[in-house]
Amino acid sequence: MISGYCEEKYISVKKIFEDYFLKQEEIGASFAIYKQGKPLIDLWNGLKNKNNENWEENTIVNVFSATKGIYEIIVSILIDQNILDLEKPVSYYWDAFKQSNKREIKLKHILSHQSGLYRFKKKIIQADLLDWNKIINILENQEPDYPSGKKTYYHAKTHGFLVGEIIKKTTKKSLGELVSELLSKKLGVNFFIGTPKNQLSNIAILYEDKTETKISSEFNAFNNPKHEINFYNKENWQTAEVPSMNGHGNARSIAKIYDIFVNDLILEKNTLLSKSSIKKCLNESISRIDESLMMPIRWSQIGLILRGGWLFGKNKESFGHNGWGGSLGFADPILGVGIAYTTNKINPTMSSDFRIINLLKEFYKLN
């Protein structure tokens, strides 16, 4: 029995979501579409874990790189407040960053995955990701792989540390603290980078689809350190701040954030920031083959994905970020909606997950 709300107009979308569980294509998931603060669809179903605990209204899950879209909204707020400037060298904010041939790297290069710091050159293990100072020291001493702005390589695991340290230097707060202050508490949503202890019981356990994926290099953007699904189910991971990949939330919360953000753009609500700042942040930074992802990607100035194909619906104006496993969030300024999907069944395909695409095709057919 599917839980939640669905407008009558979208019952056929609900049926597709329900079928995922009947056909055992899902374990636990939530799917939401919000428009001007009101739900068009807000559904959840399945199991939070294989102990037969149900996925509930307040269940949250690790959404991996869909986290990037949320903290990039934080970056846009800081740009709006003139705390950050895309054209400033990173060393303007973070003096130790300038060593090892990094003086020319600007904030915009990091945000749009053009800094050359897309991977850890030094071999690390999963537990190292929990040691913020150790990772920052590695990145401070590491030379970029190429001159800034010359190539695009998705910074899968380094991105959040780089952005997070810049924000720490400028605000004296962590990304997790700002997400809590500027989004979770202000908007009344459940999204966390560094999940508080009182939310741990709401976290869904992750289960990996066993489909094999080819690993091109031990030291590429994704495989150092290697993914270990059991590690992501541990409390020390869930409570840590690893901004590139350990945000925990649900579809309702992510959809609400994008809904409010997009309505600051199209209706000039100024809930989070000004229309002019959003437009600046959504300007295309670069469009070319991303050599980490091996596909063409259009990155905005702050690192949101533009024109993401059917992962972000039918309209080319949509923007957002997806994550490893199948979770994602995005906004469609043409329809004026925020949309999100979260799941605990980890599908290794990053660019063509049928679960969200089938739901979106049906939703857009009805609009």
Counting residues of the chain whose pLDDT is more than 70, the rounded percentage is: 97
pLDDT of residue 91: 98
3-84+177-365 adopts what CATH topology? Beta-lactamase (3.40.710)
pLDDT band at 349 (very low <50, low <70, confident <90, very high): confident
Residue 159 reports pLDDT greater than 60: yes
Confidence band (pLDDT; 50, 70, 90) for 214?
very low
| pLDDT tier at 212, thresholds 50, 70, 90 | very low
For the cut 90, the answer to whether the pLDDT of residue 348 exceeds it is no
How many whole angstroms separate alpha carbon 172 and alpha carbon 42? 36
Beta strands in the chain (DSSP E): 3-6, 28-35, 38-46, 61-62, 191-193, 207-208, 247-249, 284-290, 295-300, 305-306, 319-322, 328-332, 337-343, 345-346
| Domain spans of the chain, in order of start | 3-84+177-365
CA distances from 296 to 291, 293, 308, 345 (A): 9, 8, 10, 27
Check whether 94 has a pLDDT greater than 80. Answer: yes
The mean of the pLDDT values for the chain is 95
pLDDT for the residue 219: 56
256-304: pLDDT as tens digits: 999 999 999 999 999 999 999 999 999 999 889 988 888 899 999 999 9
- Specify the pLDDT at position 210: 66
Q: What percent of the chain has pLDDT over 90?
A: 88
User: Per-residue pLDDT tens for 38-53?
Assistant: 999 999 999 999 899 9
As beta bridge partners, residue 126 has none
To the nearest 10 degrees (0 to 180), the angle between helices 251-266 and 275-282 is 110
Which residues, 6 or more positions from 65, have their beta carbon under 8 angstroms from its beta carbon?
A: 156, 244, 245, 321, 322, 323, 324
pLDDT score for 268: 94
Q: Is 24 helix (H, G, I), strand (E, B) or coil?
A: coil
For 99-130, what is each residue's pLDDT tens digit? 999 999 999 999 999 999 999 999 999 999 99
Per-residue pLDDT reduced to its tens digit, 304-325: 999 989 999 999 999 999 999 9
| C-alpha dihedral, 153 to 222 to 31 to 58, nearest 10° | -130
